[in-house]
Amino acid sequence: MRYDNSVKAVRGSFFHITRVVTDPAEIESCTQFVEDGLLIIRNGCIDWFGEWRDGRELVPSTVRVRDYRGKLIVPGFVDTHLHYPQSEMVGAYGEQLLEWLNHHTFPTERRYNDLEYAREMSTFFIKQLLRNGTTTALVFGSVHPQSVDALFEAASRINMRLIAGKVMMDRNAPDYLLDTAESSYRHSKALIDRWHGNGRLLYAVTPRFAPTSTPAQLEVACALRKEYPTTYLQTHLSENRDEIAWVKSLYPTHKGYLDVYDSFGLTGPNCVFAHCIHLEEPEWACLQETGSTIAFCPTSNLYLGSGLFQMDKAWNRQIQVGMGTDIGAGTTFNMLQTLNEAYKVAQLQGLCLSAFHSFYLATLGGARSLGLDDRIGSFAVGKEADFVVLDPVATPMQQLRYDNSTALRDKLFVLLTLGDDRTIYRTYVDGQLVHERG
Ligand code: GUN
Ligand code: ZN
- Separation of CA 24 and ligand 1 centre (Å): 29
Cβ–ligand 1 contact at 169 (below 6 Å): no
Cβ–ligand 1 contact at 109 (below 6 Å): no
pLDDT tens digit string along 92-112?
998 999 999 999 999 999 999
Point out the ligand nearest to the CA of residue 324: 2
pLDDT tens digit string along 200-236?
999 999 999 999 999 999 999 999 999 999 999 999 9
pLDDT tens digit string along 233-260?
999 999 999 999 999 999 999 999 999 9
- Separation of CA 112 and ligand 1 centre (Å): 17
Contact call for residues 254 and 263 (beta carbons, < 8 A)? yes
* Cβ density class 194-211: b for 16+ within 10 Å, e for less: ebbeebbbbbbbbbbbbb
Cβ–ligand 1 contact at 196 (below 6 Å): no
Q: Report pTM.
A: 0.98
> Looking at the predicted structure, is the pLDDT value of residue 179 above 60?
yes
Q: Which of 84, 98, 105, 240 to mutate to test the pocket of ligand 1 (most atoms within 8 A of CB)?
A: 105
Q: What ligand 1 atom has the least distance to the C-alpha of 300? A: 9
- Give me the residues near ligand 2 (ion), CB cutoff below 5 Å: 274, 326
- Separation of CA 83 and ligand 2 centre (Å): 6
The pLDDT of residue 374: 98
Contact call for residues 394 and 419 (beta carbons, < 8 A)? yes
- Minimum CA distance residue for ligand 1 atom 11: 236
The pLDDT of residue 206: 99
Distance CA 21, CA 23 (A): 6
The pLDDT of residue 4: 42
Q: Is 175 exposed, middle or buried (0-12, 13-18, 19+ CB in 10 A)?
A: exposed
Residue range 28-39: mean pLDDT, rounded = 97
Pairing of strands 161-165, 134-140: parallel
Confidence of residue 1 (pLDDT cuts 50, 70, 90): very low
- Separation of CA 316 and ligand 2 centre (Å): 25
Phi–psi pair at 297, nearest 5 degrees: -125, 75
- Separation of CA 150 and ligand 1 centre (Å): 21
* Cβ density class 311-344: b for 16+ within 10 Å, e for less: bebbbeeebbbbbbbbbbbbbbbbbbbbbbbbbe
The fraction of the chain above a pLDDT of 70, given in percent, is: 99
Q: What ligand 1 atom has the least distance to the C-alpha of 243? A: 1
Contact call for residues 44 and 7 (beta carbons, < 8 A)? no
Q: What ligand 1 atom has the least distance to the C-alpha of 330? A: 9
Q: Which of 93-97, 193-197, 263-267, 277-281 has the lowest mean pLDDT?
A: 93-97
Cβ–ligand 1 contact at 208 (below 6 Å): yes
DSSP for 406-432 reads -SHHHHHHHHHHH--GGGEEEEEETTE
- Separation of CA 94 and ligand 1 centre (Å): 16
- Separation of CA 338 and ligand 1 centre (Å): 17
> What residues does 294 pair with on adjacent strands?
273, 321
The pLDDT of residue 3: 36
Cβ–ligand 1 contact at 47 (below 6 Å): no
- Minimum CA distance residue for ligand 1 atom 7: 329
pLDDT tens digit string along 304-314?
999 999 999 99
Residue range 394-400: mean pLDDT, rounded = 96
Point out the ligand nearest to the CA of residue 300: 1
Q: Which of 184, 135, 176 is nearest to 435 (CA)?
A: 135
> Looking at the predicted structure, is the pLDDT value of residue 424 above 70?
yes
- Separation of CA 125 and ligand 1 centre (Å): 18
> Looking at the predicted structure, is the pLDDT value of residue 5 above 80?
no
How many CB atoms are closer than 10 A to CB 88? 12
Cβ–ligand 1 contact at 299 (below 6 Å): no
The pLDDT of residue 2: 36
Chain centroid to CA 393: how far?
Answer: 26
